[in-house]
């Protein structure tokens, strides 16, 4: 064979080998690659469960899947009453890498006054356990502990009845590492409650349901698994080793009904302090009436690192933020109406008509002039606007998104619509104003909300929906210039862990120093 032929054969051989390697990798991806792909499909979400014993509602549970810096965290929480009437609380926190490689776990059980805790940490190929049980156990990754194993089983391959996946599992109670197979033994449809409403007695009832398809996963090796899991890898129903059954439902049905059924069940459930994806009105809860002079909240471990860069150092994981109601002395305006041309140039953006804020609409302008009535004090005019919008609009959830002019015509809306109309009327009166979106603390939980800020020499939050001038300390601002959180920030906020460190109720309703 000629020299040129030898070179050609070598090139073709190398090309064929490379193609074979490429196809092998594509058709038979490594376990790490498959898990990395599964990790991208894990849904960061908190699901709530009613815990039942022979059909009797005996407790509450939640599974929170969250992203934390460089890791994925799964927190399982169950609180229930034992047969002797004492409370039993089980919590397990599992941290995995972004590629779903187990890093550490902490399992805690509290029975009455006794607490037992077991910690596990994977270093190289060794599981180091401490706490109630101390040991070192060889372990090969990937390995899983807790509910995430069932999620991975469903997400690894398209679930089919008769299929199964073998994964390494760690029993947190014993530290035992084993390879076990979870098999799909059945497929079915479930009707799951995702929202609830309370009646006059305070008992919650289902208001909206979703139909989900789930697969029945079973593993007989310890720790045994008997769970129905949906296509997102979220548990729909699970039978625990102690015979209890967890059924997914709305938080209010799972926790509030259980707590309200027994006045002595004072417990800080994980649902308290959580962020709800809708407004208080859309969620069907009672109208907020409390007024706070001050509020201090702590941000949990799930707080993204970019929060500190965007909102300030206090917004880091573990940070504390203080909110306060503007005192009466600071409500005195530093300018008079009508605003000068120079003043208008400084605040041109917050005085001009804008998308959804038609302050130049004829009906809005007429109303603004009528409410101002020649008053030169912008603080007094602002308070009149807040009162008029509160008294004239019906609080209605689920109305189609509308602009300020549309809201004035239809006279109804949720927090978004109240904020838009308040802003438009204020701008028409010559008062700089913009809508604000954020969270509202109400009855231990945080709801999406919108309100307005007016400029009186400093920006003052006002809430026409709640008839607050100024708005109280329960308003946590995240977006300025829009009455909507937006889907990207909304997804982050609903995964935040917020806890109330302290709050001080107002001794009176909002200051009335305006004349």
Q: Give residue-wise pLDDT tens across range 397-425.
A: 877 778 999 999 999 999 999 999 999 99
Confidence of residue 75 (pLDDT cuts 50, 70, 90): confident
Q: Do 246 and 347 share a domain, yes or no? A: no
CATH of the domain at 352: 3.10.620.30
Q: Let me know: does 450 contact 435? Beta carbons within 8 Å.
A: yes
- Tell me how far apart the alpha carbons of residues 202 and 64 are, in angstroms, rounded to a whole number: 26
- Tell me how far apart the alpha carbons of residues 477 and 158 are, in angstroms, rounded to a whole number: 42
Q: Torsions phi, psi of 18, nearest 5?
A: -65, -40
* pLDDT above 70 for 5: no
Q: Do 264 and 325 share a domain, yes or no? A: no
Confidence of residue 211 (pLDDT cuts 50, 70, 90): very high
Please report whether residue 445 resides in a domain.
Answer: yes
Q: Do 232 and 305 share a domain, yes or no? A: no
* pLDDT above 70 for 11: no
User: CA neighbours within 13 Å on the CB side: how many for 267?
Assistant: 27
Q: Do 259 and 335 share a domain, yes or no? A: no
Stated length of the chain: 515
Task: Tell me which of 237, 270, 303 is where a domain ends.
Answer: 270
Q: Do 298 and 262 share a domain, yes or no? A: no
Q: Let me know: does 102 contact 72? Beta carbons within 8 Å.
A: no
| 171: DSSP letter | E
* pLDDT score at 482: 92
* pLDDT above 90 for 465: yes
* pLDDT above 80 for 385: yes
Please report whether residue 15 resides in a domain.
Answer: no
What is the pLDDT averaged over residues 95-112? 81
Low-confidence winner among 76-85, 187-196, 350-359 (lowest mean pLDDT): 76-85
* pLDDT above 60 for 1: no
* pLDDT score at 21: 47
Three-class SS state of 474: coil
Q: Let me know: does 146 contact 153? Beta carbons within 8 Å.
A: no
The residues, ordered by sequence, that sit 6+ positions from 101 with a Cβ below 8 Å of its Cβ are 35, 122, 141, 142
Q: Do 308 and 410 share a domain, yes or no? A: yes
Please report whether residue 351 resides in a domain.
Answer: yes
* pLDDT above 60 for 509: no
* pLDDT score at 178: 80
Q: Do 302 and 259 share a domain, yes or no? A: no
Q: Do 322 and 241 share a domain, yes or no? A: no
Q: How far is CA 92 from CA 65, 146, 157, 168, 428, in A?
A: 12, 8, 26, 18, 55
Most confident of 210-219, 427-436, 504-513: 427-436
Its domain, for residue 476, covers: 292-505
Q: Torsions phi, psi of 250, nearest 5?
A: -70, 150
* pLDDT score at 198: 73
* pLDDT score at 40: 74
Please report whether residue 6 resides in a domain.
Answer: no
- Comparing CA positions, the residue from 44, 69, 65 lying closest to residue 318 is 69
Task: Tell me which of 211, 240, 270 is where a domain ends.
Answer: 270
What's the token pair of residue 236? 């729909």
**This prediction's pTM:** 0.51
Task: Tell me which of 214, 237, 270 is where a domain ends.
Answer: 270
Confidence of residue 23 (pLDDT cuts 50, 70, 90): very low
Residue 64 pairs in a beta bridge with 46, 75
For 238-280, the pLDDT digits (tens) are: 998 788 999 999 887 887 788 777 645 444 333 356 788 889 9
* pLDDT score at 46: 79
* pLDDT score at 262: 66
* pLDDT score at 63: 87
Low-confidence winner among 32-46, 385-399, 470-484 (lowest mean pLDDT): 32-46
- Tell me how far apart the alpha carbons of residues 408 and 213 are, in angstroms, rounded to a whole number: 44
What is the pLDDT averaged over residues 121-148? 82
493 or 399, higher pLDDT? 493
- Tell me how far apart the alpha carbons of residues 484 and 355 are, in angstroms, rounded to a whole number: 13
DSSP assignment of 47-78, as one string? EEEEEEETTEEEEEEEEEEEEETTEEEEEEEE
Please report whether residue 12 resides in a domain.
Answer: no
List % helix, strand, coil for the chain (3-state, nearest 5). 25, 40, 35
The H or E element that residue 34 is part of is helix 31-41
- Tell me how far apart the alpha carbons of residues 15 and 275 are, in angstroms, rounded to a whole number: 55
Most confident of 19-23, 227-231, 293-297, 339-343: 227-231
Q: Do 265 and 298 share a domain, yes or no? A: no
Please report whether residue 134 resides in a domain.
Answer: yes
| Average pLDDT score, the chain | 82
Q: How far is CA 452 from CA 363, 368, 406, 480, 486, in A?
A: 20, 16, 18, 9, 17
* pLDDT above 70 for 515: no
Q: Do 310 and 400 share a domain, yes or no? A: yes
* pLDDT score at 410: 93
Three-class SS state of 243: coil
Percent of the chain with pLDDT over 70: 87
Low-confidence winner among 10-24, 31-45, 270-284, 290-304 (lowest mean pLDDT): 10-24
Place of tokens 């209010």: 252
| 200: DSSP letter | T
- Tell me how far apart the alpha carbons of residues 298 and 501 are, in angstroms, rounded to a whole number: 6
Q: Do 343 and 410 share a domain, yes or no? A: yes
| 302: DSSP letter | T
Please report whether residue 500 resides in a domain.
Answer: yes
Nearest-10 crossing angle of helices 415-428, 378-392: 140
301 or 3, higher pLDDT? 301
Q: Do 252 and 332 share a domain, yes or no? A: no
What's the token pair of residue 309? 């860069």
Place of tokens 């969620």: 283
* pLDDT above 70 for 68: no
- Tell me how far apart the alpha carbons of residues 154 and 355 are, in angstroms, rounded to a whole number: 45
End-to-end CA distance of the chain: 105
What is the pLDDT averaged over residues 489-504? 81
Low-confidence winner among 15-24, 307-316, 402-411 (lowest mean pLDDT): 15-24
Please report whether residue 123 resides in a domain.
Answer: yes
Three-class SS state of 414: coil
Q: How many domains does the chain have?
A: 2
What's the token pair of residue 499? 């806890």
Q: Torsions phi, psi of 338, nearest 5?
A: -75, 150
């Amino acid at each position: 064979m000629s020299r040129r032929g030898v070179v050609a054969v070598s090139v073709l051989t190398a090309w064929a080998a490379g193609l074979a390697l490429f196809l092998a990798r594509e058709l038979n991806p490594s376990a790490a690659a498959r898990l990395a792909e599964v990790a991208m499909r894990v849904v960061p979400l908190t699901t709530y469960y009613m815990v039942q014993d022979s059909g009797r509602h005996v407790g509450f549970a939640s599974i929170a899947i969250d992203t934390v810096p460089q890791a994925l965290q799964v927190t399982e929480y169950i609180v229930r009453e034992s047969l002797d009437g004492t409370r039993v609380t089980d919590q397990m926190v599992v941290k995995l890498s972004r590629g779903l490689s187990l890093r550490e776990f902490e399992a805690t059980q509290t029975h009455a006054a006794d607490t037992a805790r077991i910690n596990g940490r994977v270093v190289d190929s060794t599981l180091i356990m401490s706490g109630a049980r101390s040991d070192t156990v060889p372990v090969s990754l990937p390995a899983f502990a807790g509910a995430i194993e069932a999620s991975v089983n469903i997400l690894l391959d398209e679930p089919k009845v008769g299929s199964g996946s073998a994964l390494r599992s760690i029993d947190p109670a014993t530290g035992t590492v084993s390879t076990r197979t979870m098999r799909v033994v059945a497929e079915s449809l479930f009707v799951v409650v995702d929202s609830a409403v309370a009646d006059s007695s305070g008992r919650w009832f289902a208001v909206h349901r979703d139909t989900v398809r789930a697969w029945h996963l079973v593993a007989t090796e310890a720790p045994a698994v008997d769970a129905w899991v949906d296509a997102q890898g979220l548990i729909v129903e699970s039978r625990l080793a102690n015979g209890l059954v967890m059924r997914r439902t709305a938080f209010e049905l799972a926790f509030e009904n259980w707590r309200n059924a027994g006045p002595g069940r004072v417990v800080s459930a994980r649902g308290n302090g959580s962020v709800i994806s809708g407004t208080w009105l859309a969620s069907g809860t009672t109208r907020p009436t409390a007024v706070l002079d001050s509020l201090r909240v702590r941000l949990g471990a799930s707080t993204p690192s970019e929060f500190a860069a965007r909102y300030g150092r206090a917004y880091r994981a573990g940070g504390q933020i203080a909110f306060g109601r503007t005192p009466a002395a600071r409500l005195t305006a530093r300018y008079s109406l009508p605003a000068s041309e120079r003043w208008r140039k400084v605040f041109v953006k917050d005085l001009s008509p804008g998308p959804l804020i038609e302050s130049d609409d004829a009906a809005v302008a007429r109303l603004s002039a009528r409410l101002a009535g020649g008053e030169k004090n912008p603080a007094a005019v602002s308070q009149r606007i807040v009162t008029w919008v509160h008294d004239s609009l019906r609080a209605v959830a689920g109305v189609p998104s509308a602009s300020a002019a549309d809201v004035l015509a239809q006279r109804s809306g949720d927090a978004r619509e109240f904020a838009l109309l308040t802003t438009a009327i204020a701008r028409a009166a010559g008062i700089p104003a913009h809508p604000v979106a954020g969270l509202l603390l109400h009855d231990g939980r945080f709801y999406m909300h919108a309100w307005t800020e007016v400029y009186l020499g400093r920006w003052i939050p006002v809430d026409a929906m709640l008839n607050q001038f100024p708005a109280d300390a329960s308003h946590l601002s995240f977006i300025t210039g829009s009455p909507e959180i937006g889907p990207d920030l909304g997804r982050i906020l609903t995964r935040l862990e917020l806890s109330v460190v302290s709050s001080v109720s107002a001794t009176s309703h909002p200051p009335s120093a305006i004349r």
